[in-house]
């Protein structure tokens, strides 16, 4: 498969995104879901086609159910659709973490991490040989995202990473990992997960932010979400002090060497690949490397890796076009002015328009599930 045309966006970090600010960007931003929906389609089959077949099956079966509708699923909340905001309840988060620990997972302290963020001294990023995602050592700032239900069998459905923010409590993933017909009310992030152990604890959201255009029509150009998190069982905590963080970068030029990482849903260790982040379109990046299956959605696309910390500059997350891609190629929404505005909103204090907790609607047996890869 030929690689796509490389873009010519300016190399400057924020690229003017700070001009529509309600909250100014910190200086560091300027630097050089069967299983839950994961957004990854079957081999060679775009996710849209898979979802369309699923919807057709429901209609033909005359069930007339709105899959994933927050009015029918107890594990989804409507949130504030106008702003794309949701304030998570403490009970939901702690129950979700307890469900993870009731399964085959446990917390076990890992080696301490210096509280630094990436994007500084860069190491060379030679392309992977062979060009195929391969098992990789866990990185403290990258982890698995769980969405445990009531069936007592938690599994991780997506990937997320810690991104630098003033409050030190921010995680980024794909929007489809946290909003699928409604905001997922039970989410747990396990940074550095490996072999059934969560070495840096379990973290749950206090606030979720997505672009309203994702809620209204699942616009693939806005498949990005930011979560402010706290340590499960505690009122707060700075995850960045525990794991370190990636530095977010906006309007990064396409065609640069990058590293893509994600947690397959059936593995407790990540896979990774190094190649170039090319321009699929003005609003999408593509990464041609096979081997990123279900569960890797939301995984970080990094440039400028710091050899001292293993962190780098975050320029995208697996998602966007075709729900993130197929077995051969991965996509990401490009981090431009809209993602910069979403980031600013995420790091600001919750405003009066933020969704209030406890807004979940009545129960039903429907839970969002992923299109299985076969």
pLDDT, one tens digit per residue, over 333-347 is 999 999 999 999 999
Assign 168 a pLDDT band (cuts: 50, 70, 90). very high
Average pLDDT, the chain: 79
Give pTM, 2 decimals: 0.78
CA-to-CA distance for 237 and 147, rounded, in angstroms?
21
302 contacts 118 by C-beta, under 8 angstroms: yes
In the chain, which ranges are E strands?
Answer: 76-77, 85-87, 106-107, 134-135, 142-146, 156-162, 170-173, 183-184, 188-191, 197-198, 203-210, 225-231, 247-248, 256-262, 271-281, 284-288, 300-303, 313-317, 329-333
Q: In whole angstroms, how far apart are CA 258 and each of 88, 191, 247, 272, 275?
A: 33, 21, 14, 11, 6
User: Average pLDDT for residues 113-135, to the nearest whole number?
Assistant: 79
pLDDT of residue 72: 56
Assign 119 a pLDDT band (cuts: 50, 70, 90). low
Q: Is the peptide bond before 180 cis (omega within 30 degrees of 0)?
A: no
Assign 290 a pLDDT band (cuts: 50, 70, 90). very high
pLDDT at 51 over 60: no
CA-to-CA distance for 319 and 330, rounded, in angstroms?
8
Q: Strand, helix or coil at 178? A: helix
pLDDT at 289 over 80: yes
User: Average pLDDT for residues 191-218, to the nearest whole number?
Assistant: 97
Residue whose token pair is 């328009």:
353
Cα end-to-end span (Å), the chain: 21
pLDDT of residue 121: 62
pLDDT at 47 over 70: no
CA-to-CA distance for 98 and 184, rounded, in angstroms?
16
């Amino acid at each position: 498969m030929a690689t796509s045309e490389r873009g010519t966006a300016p190399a400057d970090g924020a690229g003017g995104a700070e001009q529509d600010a309600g909250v100014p960007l910190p200086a560091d931003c300027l630097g050089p879901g069967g299983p839950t929906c994961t957004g990854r389609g079957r081999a060679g089959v775009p996710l849209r086609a898979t979802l369309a077949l699923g919807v057709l099956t429901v209609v033909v079966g005359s069930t007339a159910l709105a899959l994933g509708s927050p009015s029918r699923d107890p594990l989804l909340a409507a949130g504030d659709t106008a702003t794309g905001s949701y304030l998570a309840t403490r009970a939901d988060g702690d129950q979700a973490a307890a469900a993870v620990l009731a399964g085959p997972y446990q917390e076990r302290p890992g080696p301490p991490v210096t509280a630094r963020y990436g994007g500084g001294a860069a190491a060379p990023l030679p392309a992977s040989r062979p060009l195929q995602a391969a098992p990789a050592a866990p990185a403290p700032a990258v982890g698995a995202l769980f969405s445990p239900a009531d069936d007592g069998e938690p599994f991780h459905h997506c990937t997320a990473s810690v991104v630098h923010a003033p409050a030190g409590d921010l995680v980024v993933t794909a929007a489809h990992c946290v909003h699928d017909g409604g905001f997922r009310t039970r989410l747990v992030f396990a940074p550095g997960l490996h072999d059934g152990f969560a070495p840096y604890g379990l973290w749950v959201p206090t606030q979720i932010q997505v672009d309203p255009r994702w809620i209204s029509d699942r616009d693939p150009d806005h498949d990005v979400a930011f979560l402010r998190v706290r340590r499960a069982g505690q009122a707060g905590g700075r995850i960045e002090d525990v794991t370190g963080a990636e530095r977010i970068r906006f309007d990064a030029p396409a065609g640069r060497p990058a590293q893509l990482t994600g947690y397959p849903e059936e593995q407790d260790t990540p896979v990774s690949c190094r190649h170039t982040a090319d321009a699929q379109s003005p609003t999408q990046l593509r990464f041609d490397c096979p081997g990123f299956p279900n569960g890797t959605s939301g995984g970080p696309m990094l440039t400028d890796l710091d050899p001292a910390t293993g962190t780098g500059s975050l320029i995208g997350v697996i998602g966007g076009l075709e729900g993130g891609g197929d077995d051969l190629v991965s996509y990401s929404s490009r981090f431009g002015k809209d993602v910069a505005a979403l980031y600013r909103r995420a790091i600001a204090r919750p405003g009066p328009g933020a969704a209030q907790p406890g807004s979940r609607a009545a129960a039903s047996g429907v839970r969002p599930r992923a299109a299985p890869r076969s």
